[in-house]
Amino acid sequence: MSISSAMQTGVSGLNANSVAVGEISENIANANTTGYKRSFAQMVTMTPSGGLNAPSGVNAVVTSDLKNGGAVIPTSSPTDLAVNGDGFFVVSNTPNTSVQSDYVMTRAGSFQANENGDLVNSAGYFLSGYPYTDGKLGSIDGNSFNGLKTVNVTEATLSAKATSTIGVQGNLPSQETGNATPGAPFKSSSQYYTPLGAVKRLEYSWQPTSTPNRWDITVADPDGTPYGTVTVDFAGGGANAGAPVSYSGVTSLATAPAAFSMDTTTGVMTLTVDDGGTTQQIDVGLGAPNSYDGITQFAGDFTPQKFSADGSSAGALTRIEIDNSGTMFGIFDNGQRQPLYKIPLAHVENPNGMQEVDGDAYRLTRNSGSYTIHKANEGPVGNITSGALEGSNVDIAQELSDLIRTQRAYSTNAKIVTTMDEMLDETTRLKR
């Protein structure tokens, strides 16, 4: 190798190590950046092509460490999200885009609602998720970004839903039955929602009879106008003691268009409620015969029934919750909790092959291989922690150690160049 060749080799060393110092400085500067992944320069030998005496050198190939995650740091915001395990959030440059190339991957989960209610991280990327419709999640195409929408936390509203079923649970005191002169009926009531979200009530009268273990039940509106009555007999002993045995004497007292009926095999009363000409059908389940899933009769005090009714009034969103499977729930001021979005995670075959773009985001390339989109905590991806952020995976101690080592390598290569310069100068003086 000639003097000039040695100088070229030294210059390549200077260039390669200067690139390495640049990557180290970038890592140190971003040591506290949310979701940042350290990059580093790998030294690769430049193989000579002109024979044994041709100059060789070194080249710096820059790559990123995307597989190793950073520490999870708790925060107070429920929209701050961190990934535990593999996977990336899918984000876009513009909200609700249909252009596949607009989607990129990130682990920077510092999402906050903007003026339109869209969740945007500190780099300006919009979080993508699959919306729920009427509490149901549609099909997910795990091989494309189709179906993804920008997650929005202010557009959600809950319209009123009419009550259709009411479940009844409670105990009737067995000692009140079988008396020659039965006592006064026990009273209870349950609420229900109209189609417009108004709250109304049904009144129940539980009348003990002179026949042991037998009760007469009357259902009425708040004004005392009855819909109908039914008689229930309870088992006084045996394997099903205390459970209803049979329903009988079903009598409708309703005036059309109101109505009353009962399926004695299931223990479900069907009421057609008349609300000023607007009818609403409600099924009231007292409990199937020979079961303990509804009303029972045991000795003791009367226990006011517990009523479980569906339906709700109209509600406004008050806050959100996100579980570790990526389901975003809306909590409404009417007490209802409803799923709004499913936040997925993308799995990339070779994440280190992705191209880094501004804002701690990465774009798919040919080298990154194929990708698939999964529900969090399923398949190859990890789960999501709400109220937390993933910190940088930069180790300051390692970076400082690499900085010292690279600086020494740079100085040594500089020494080669200066030495070769002195030798060339000495060579030129030989002609004098």
CB 34, CB 389: distance < 8 Å: yes
How far apart are the C-alpha atoms of 295 and 285, rounded to whole Å?
A: 9
Mean pLDDT of 71-81: 92
Which pLDDT score is estimated for 50?
Answer: 53
* 57 has pLDDT over 70: yes
More confident residue, 216 or 59: 216
Same domain, 169 and 298: yes
Identify each DSSP E strand in 236-365 by its residue range.
244-252, 259-263, 268-275, 278-285, 295-298, 306-309, 315-322, 327-332, 337-342, 344-348, 355-357, 361-363
At 51 the pLDDT is 54
Average pLDDT value for residue range 393-404: 87
**Domain check: are 230 and 322 in the same one?**
no
pLDDT-based confidence at residue 383 (cuts at 50, 70, 90):
very high
Render pLDDT for 348-364 as a digit per residue (tens, 0 to 9). Answer: 999 888 888 988 899 99
The winner for highest mean pLDDT among 207-216, 275-284, 329-338 is: 207-216
Distance CA 19, CA 40 (A): 9
Q: Could you give the CA distance from residue 48 to residue 6 in angstroms, rounded to a whole number?
A: 12
Do 59 and 111 fall into the same domain? Answer: no
What is the model's pLDDT at position 60?
Answer: 80
Q: Are residues 172 and 224 in the same domain?
A: yes
Which pLDDT tens digit goes with each residue over 3-12?
777 778 878 8
Residue where a domain terminates, one of 250, 277, 309: 309
Residues 137 and 273 in one domain: no
Mean pLDDT of the chain: 89
Same-domain pairing of 177 and 119: no
Please say which residue of 309, 331, 365 terminates a domain. 309
- Same domain, yes or no: 397 and 386: no
From CA 404, how far away is CA 148, in angstroms rounded?
A: 46
Among the candidates 254, 285, 309, a domain finishes at 309
The per-type count for the chain, helices as H runs and strands as E runs, is: 2, 32
In this predicted structure, which of 65-74, 90-99, 197-206, 394-403 has the lowest mean pLDDT?
Answer: 65-74
Percent share of the chain, pLDDT over 70 = 97
Average pLDDT on 250-260 reads: 94
pLDDT category at 206 given cuts 50, 70, 90 is: very high
- The more confidently predicted of residues 299 and 26 is 299
Tell me the mean pLDDT in the region 304-326. Answer: 91
Q: Are residues 184 and 295 in the same domain?
A: yes
Q: Which two tokens stand for residue 168?
A: 């009844």
pLDDT of amino acid 54 = 60
> Same domain for 291 and 177?
yes
Residue 34's domain spans which residues? 3-68+393-429
What was the pLDDT predicted at 2? 73
| Same-domain status, 260 and 191 | yes
Cis omega (within 30 of 0) for bond into 304: no
Q: Kindly tell me if the per-residue pLDDT of 415 is higher than 90.
A: no
Task: Quote the DSSP letter at residue 117.
Answer: S
Q: Assess whether 214 and 255 both reside in one domain.
A: yes
What is the average per-residue pLDDT within 255-269?
A: 95
Q: Which CATH number fits the domain that encloses residue 238? A: 2.60.98.20
Higher pLDDT, 179 or 62: 179
pLDDT for 421 beyond 80? no
Highest mean pLDDT among 21-30, 187-196, 351-360: 187-196
Q: What is the pLDDT of residue 17?
A: 84
* Residue 22: pLDDT band with limits 50, 70, 90: confident
Same domain, 294 and 349: no
Q: What is the DSSP letter of 412?
A: H
pLDDT at residue 163, rounded to an integer: 95
Higher pLDDT among residues 299 and 13, named by residue: 299
Task: Determine phi and psi for 306, rounding to 5 degrees.
Answer: -100, 130
Structure confidence at residue 110 as a pLDDT band (50, 70, 90): very high
> Do 37 and 64 touch, CB atoms closer than 8 A?
yes
- Kindly tell me if the per-residue pLDDT of 402 is higher than 70: yes
* CB atoms near residue 413 (< 10 Å): 22
Any idea what the Cα angle at residue 240 is, between residues 238 and 246, rounded to 5°? 110
The DSSP annotation for 46-109 comes to E--SS-TTS--EEEEEEEE--SS---EEE-S-TTBEEEESS-BEEEESSTT---GGGEEEE---
- End-to-end Cα, the chain, rounded Å: 25
Q: How confident is the model at residue 381 (pLDDT cuts 50, 70, 90)?
A: very high
Percent of the chain with pLDDT over 90: 57
Task: Report the run of H or E that residue 119 belongs to, with start and end.
Answer: strand 119-120
With a CB cutoff of 8 Å and minimum separation 6, the contacts of 432 are none
Say whether pLDDT at 261 is over 70.
yes
Residue 53's pLDDT is what? 59
Q: What's the confidence (pLDDT) of residue 37?
A: 79
Res. 117 pLDDT band, cuts 50 70 90:
very high
Within a 10 A sphere around the Cβ of 304, how many other Cβ atoms?
A: 12
* Number of separate domains in the chain: 3
pLDDT value of residue 56: 73
Q: What band does 239 get if pLDDT is binned at 50, 70 and 90?
A: very high
